[in-house]
Amino acid sequence: MIVLRSLLLPFYPASLMFVVLFAALLAVTTLVPDEAAVLRIIPAFLLLSWLFNYAYTMLEDAANGLSEPPVLSPEMLGPFEARPLLQLLLCAAVYKVVGLVGGALGAVILVTYLALLPASIGVLGVTQDVIAAINPVALLRTARALGWYYLLIFCLSAGYAYALYVLSGVPVWRFAWYALLGFGVLSIFSFIGSVIFVRRIQLQFEPRSSPERKAEIAEAERIRQRSCVLDEVYGFIRVHGSRRAVDPLGQWLSRLDAQHVTEDVRAILLQAAQWNNDRGLAEVTQFVVGYLIKIARLDLAVETLEATLRRFPSYALDSEEETVTLARRAKAMGNAQLARTIINNFAARAADHHLSDAAKTFLDGLQN
């Protein structure tokens, strides 16, 4: 979908206006008589440089995950933008070498250059690294990373080349030919940029906007908000010490996606343990364990309780039902010692409470 959408970028209003203006001005230059050829060559050079400046900008934007073409700016109108000039110099150098070498070797050099030209354009467009753009090894690696999309680039280029060839034999105003040329260049460059975006992982390219980048930013913001919630909880516990202190934590957990439960619970307990406040750690543990039992994450609840006991060995849950539930789960997980500690801590702390017969039976079974 992203690759196909790139073919439509030249037809967006911004790029469409640019192509129409480019084609109209270039067509006007053909009206200049041969005696004043310089008045034709200079404007044509400027217009073509503007076209490739805009094309490289479109390529870079597409490679960075943007879905709309760039708006024409004064910076794009400069005739000496680095990337088009470097590509032009590279083409001129290859042409000169092929002419000097000639024969079969010259043909091999030309074919190799044409085969690697899309990779060179892509590398130069996103990195502006001249060395990489002329390094055959780097270009071959890029072409391989692009996979079968690289063949599609050639198919698209061949399609536009054939259309230009056919149109050149039709008696139409040169404006149509130049407009097709403009659309072709922009389509090919935007297609290369979109392919780079699609194959960004294989290319080890980090665009400015991508699903991975957005997810990374969202995760960083989520972690920041989680830390703020825990800071708020700690502040309430220090000042008020009431059970309502963990209300912000409850609101956070209620909005938590299932995929983040394990990570967030471990992070919450780690941050609470760093408070060096047993009461705060106990409040957070009690709330988190209750939440985990409610959503049937007993293994994680046992892990949470065990982590707290390492920091606070005498800690006990408030509820006998929760205590027995986690003790049974700890035993089932092969940790009978933890199960005994969970039960004994509850019995030792609640002097005015008595274990039920079921709890006593379970404890006796652990001790036998």
Asked if 252 and 298 touch (Cβ cutoff 8 Å), the reply is no
- Give the N- to C-terminal CA distance of the chain in Å, as an integer: 66
Task: Please state the φ and ψ torsions of residue 100, each to the nearest 5 degrees.
Answer: -75, -40
Angle between helices 211-239 and 261-273 (to 10 degrees): 40
**CA 240 from chain center: how many Å?**
43
Name the maximum alpha-carbon separation found in the chain.
112
Asked if 40 and 26 touch (Cβ cutoff 8 Å), the reply is no
What ranges in 276-319 are assigned the alpha helix state H?
Answer: 278-294, 298-311
- 101 CB neighbour count, 10 Å cutoff: 14
Sequential pLDDT tens for the chain (368 residues): 566 666 777 778 888 888 888 888 888 877 766 656 666 777 777 888 888 888 888 888 888 877 777 776 666 666 667 777 777 777 777 777 777 777 778 788 778 888 888 888 888 888 877 778 778 888 888 888 888 888 988 888 888 888 888 887 776 677 888 888 888 888 889 898 888 888 888 877 776 766 667 777 777 887 888 788 777 777 777 766 555 667 777 777 777 777 788 888 888 888 877 777 777 778 888 888 888 888 888 888 888 888 888 888 888 888 888 888 888 888 888 888 888 888 888 877 665 456 666 666 666 565 55
Rg (CA), the chain: 34
What is the DSSP track for 38-99? HHHHHHHHHHHHHHHHHHHHHHHHHHTT--SPPPP-GGGG-TT-HHHHHHHHHHHHHHHHHH
SS3 166: helix
Place of tokens 């972690």: 223
The model's pLDDT over 202-213, given as tens digits with 9 standing for 90+, comes to 877 776 766 667
Q: Please report the pLDDT score of residue 352 as a whole number.
A: 45
The model's pLDDT over 254-269, given as tens digits with 9 standing for 90+, comes to 777 777 888 888 888 8
Angle between helices 174-198 and 13-29 (to 10 degrees): 140
Q: Please report the pLDDT score of residue 128 as a whole number.
A: 77
Is the pTM for the entire model greater than 0.75? no
Asked if 329 and 301 touch (Cβ cutoff 8 Å), the reply is yes
The model's pLDDT over 306-363, given as tens digits with 9 standing for 90+, comes to 888 888 888 888 888 888 888 888 888 888 888 888 888 887 766 545 666 666 666 6
Asked if 76 and 53 touch (Cβ cutoff 8 Å), the reply is yes
* Domain residue ranges of the chain, discontinuous segments joined by +: 2-209
Region for residue 205 given its phi and psi (left: phi exceeds 0; alpha: psi -120 to 50; beta: otherwise): beta
Residues 6+ apart with CB under 8 A from 23: 175, 176, 178, 179, 181, 182
Q: Please report the pLDDT score of residue 329 as a whole number.
A: 86
